[in-house]
């Protein structure tokens, strides 16, 4: 095994012994970086002389994850739960989900948010970052260590803040919930070393390196689960939302389709259509909610059009994209937006 992986395990053993009083939370997306973190964590967990007070693996389900990858991760999590139980490893597995008002289509169809772009990326915080923050808030942030798959050289901005820190492996995360510790086991690793960890370490046994490698072709990167607004859009990597319009091309989806997952074609076409209608002035209010000039939310007609397309997509893919809670909230939000339109039919509602 390469030195970098052994070094990461050593660092993790030391960290676990140093912070055995803490609740260790492992942020897992299913991608290669968080898979490497999990494997390194488990090797260290086996070797550490003291075990941490508690350990939980968390996965954030946005509700719009790429269906192939979503199925891969959820099956894996189910197997992991069973594997931890039979190996008597007291590690919890939790799937977190954004509150209904933050879900992708509630914002888009219900409130008329235009499909996200890099300059208006309204989705990451609500779908991925806030559920993790809320989980940590519920577990005494000051006693929490979040193990995260951040690597140096992933983003120049992030690099600058990492370089300011005396110990690259330990960082502080400051946000609404206060402050908590981040431990970055793979911070010094490059991509081949990450794959070394994925292939070279055995636990959890249900995580098959070859299956994971097969999901990757030419995409890389994972969605952030902590506040890192400068990070690249999540869907520029393998694991992200099938609805993502932040990236110009859905390389990940295209690659999966090329490799035979033709069931993704309807999702792919829908995403393409979303990018096309985004800047169509006839589908947007002429003013923002604040009253400022400039393209505002999607019109009610455009939102209805999106809803119809989703229903067609649900039919074509035999899947449920909107659940009953989301539909209920969308209907209420429509009622709210429709009322001011009666008085301002041409200009859209006032703030
Ligand atoms: S993958 Fe795209 S749509 Fe999903 S949270 Fe990330 S930026 Fe937003």
* Rounded Cα–Cα distance for residues 150 and 128 (Å): 15
Check whether 69 has a pLDDT greater than 60: yes
Q: How far is CA 72 from the centre of its chain?
A: 15
Q: Give me the helices (H) in 87-233, please.
A: 104-105, 123-124, 130-137, 156-164, 191-200, 209-215
127 pocket-lining for ligand 1 (C-beta < 6 Å): yes
Q: What is the pLDDT of residues 115-165, one digit of tens each?
A: 999 899 999 999 988 899 899 998 889 999 999 999 986 655 555 566 566
Helix (H, G, I), strand (E, B) or coil at 179: strand
Cα 347 from Cα 345, distance rounded (Å): 6
Q: What are phi and psi of 117, to 5 degrees?
A: -130, 175
For residue 119, report the distance from its CA to the centre of ligand 1, in Å: 13
Mean pLDDT of 40-60: 96
Ligand 1 centre to CA of 53 (Å) is 33
Candidate from 63, 97, 246, 278 with most ligand 1 atoms within 8 A of CB, to mutate: 246
| 334, 297 Cβ separation under 8 angstroms | no
What is the pLDDT, as a whole number, of residue 341? Answer: 47
Q: Cα 29 to chain center, whole Å?
A: 7
Identify the residue with better confidence: 346 or 315: 315
Mind listing the pLDDT tens digit for each residue in 274-306?
999 999 999 999 999 888 889 999 999 999 999
User: What residues contact 280, with CB distance under 8 A and at least 6 apart?
Assistant: 302
Q: Which of 279, 271, 211, 219 is nearest to 241 (CA)?
A: 271
> Residue 285 class from Cβ within 10 Å (0-12 exposed, 13-18 middle, 19+ buried)?
buried
pLDDT at 348 over 50: no
* 128 CA: nearest ligand 1 atom: 5
Between strands 54-61 and 91-97, the pairing is parallel
Residue 345: pLDDT band with limits 50, 70, 90: very low
Q: What is the mean pLDDT of residues 49-66?
A: 94
Q: What is the pLDDT of residue 162?
A: 61
Mean pLDDT comparison of 49-53, 245-249, 343-347, highest-scoring range: 49-53
Q: What is the average pLDDT value for the chain, to the nearest integer? A: 87
Q: What's the whole-number mean pLDDT along residues 247-272?
A: 87
pLDDT given at position 218: 41
Residue 213: predicted pLDDT? 87
Residue ID of nearest Cα to ligand 1 atom 7: 233
Pair 28, 57: CB distance under 8 Å: yes
Phi and psi at 297, nearest 5°, equal: -60, 170
CATH no., domain 3-232: 3.40.50.620
Element (H, E) at 302: helix 300-317
pLDDT at 238: 57
Token pair of 131 as six digits: 């559920």
CA 235–ligand 1 middle distance (angstroms): 6
245 lines ligand 1 (CB under 6 A): no
- CA–CA gap between residue 276 and residue 272 (Å, rounded): 6
Give pLDDT tens digits for 215-227.
876 444 454 555 5
pLDDT (0 to 100) of residue 153 = 65
Distance CA 179, CA 301 (A): 44
Neighbours of 183 (CB within 10 A): 24
Percent of the chain with pLDDT over 90: 66
Each residue of 82-115: pLDDT tens digit?
999 999 999 999 999 999 999 999 999 999 999 9
- Is the distance from CB of 189 to CB of 151 less than 8 angstroms? yes
Q: Which atom of ligand 1 is nearest to the CA of 240?
A: 1
Tokens of 22: 């803490």
What's the Cα-to-Cα distance from 27 to each of 36, 129, 174, 222, 249, rounded to whole Å?
11, 11, 17, 11, 27
The three-state secondary structure class of 33 is helix
* Residue 199: C-alpha distances to residues 38, 184, 341 (Å): 12, 19, 58
Q: How confident is the model at residue 235 (pLDDT cuts 50, 70, 90)?
A: very low
From ligand 1's centre to the CA of 138, what distance in Å?
A: 25
* CA 343 – CA 38 distance, rounded (Å): 56
Q: How far, in Å, CA of 235 to CA of 210, rounded?
A: 22
* Residue whose entry in the numeric block shows the structure tokens 């939302």: 241
Q: Which atom of ligand 1 is nearest to the CA of 123?
A: 8
Give the integer Cα–Cα distance in Å for 137 and 160. Answer: 27
The answer to whether the CB of 129 is under 6 A from ligand 1 is no
């Amino acid at each position: 095994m390469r030195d970098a992986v052994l070094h990461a395990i050593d660092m993790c053993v030391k960290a676990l012994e140093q912070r055995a009083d803490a609740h260790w939370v492992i942020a897992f997306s299913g991608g290669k970086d968080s898979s490497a973190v999990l494997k390194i964590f488990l090797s260290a967990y086996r070797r550490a002389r003291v075990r941490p007070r508690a350990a939980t693996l968390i996965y954030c389900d946005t509700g719009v994850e790429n269906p192939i990858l979503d199925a891969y991760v959820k099956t894996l999590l189910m197997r992991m739960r069973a594997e931890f139980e039979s190996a008597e490893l007291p590690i919890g597995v939790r799937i977190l989900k954004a509150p209904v008002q933050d879900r992708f289509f509630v914002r888009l169809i219900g409130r008329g948010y235009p499909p996200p772009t890099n300059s208006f990326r309204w989705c990451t915080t609500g779908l991925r970052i806030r559920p993790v923050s809320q989980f940590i808030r519920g577990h005494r942030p000051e006693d929490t260590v979040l193990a995260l798959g951040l690597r140096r050289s992933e983003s120049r901005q992030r690099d600058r803040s990492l370089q300011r820190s005396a110990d690259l492996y330990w960082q502080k995360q400051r946000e609404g919930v206060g402050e908590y510790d981040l431990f970055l086991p793979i911070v010094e690793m490059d991509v081949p070393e990450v794959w070394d960890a994925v292939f070279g370490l055995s636990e959890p046994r249900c995580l098959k390196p070859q299956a994971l490698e097969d999901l990757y072709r030419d995409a890389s990167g994972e969605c952030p689960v902590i506040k890192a607004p400068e990070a690249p859009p999540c869907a520029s990597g393998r694991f992200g939302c099938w609805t993502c319009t932040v990236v110009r091309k859905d390389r990940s989806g295209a690659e999966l389709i090329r490799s035979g997952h033709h069931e993704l074609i309807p999702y792919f076409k829908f995403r393409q259509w979303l990018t096309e209608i985004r800047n169509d002035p006839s589908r947007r209010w002429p003013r923002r909610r604040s009253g400022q000039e400039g393209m505002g939310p999607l019109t009610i007609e455009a939102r209805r059009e999106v809803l119809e397309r989703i229903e067609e997509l649900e039919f074509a893919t035999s899947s449920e994209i909107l659940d009953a809670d989301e539909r209920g909230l969308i209907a209420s939000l429509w009622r709210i937006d429709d009322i001011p339109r009666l008085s301002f039919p041409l200009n859209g509602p006032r703030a």
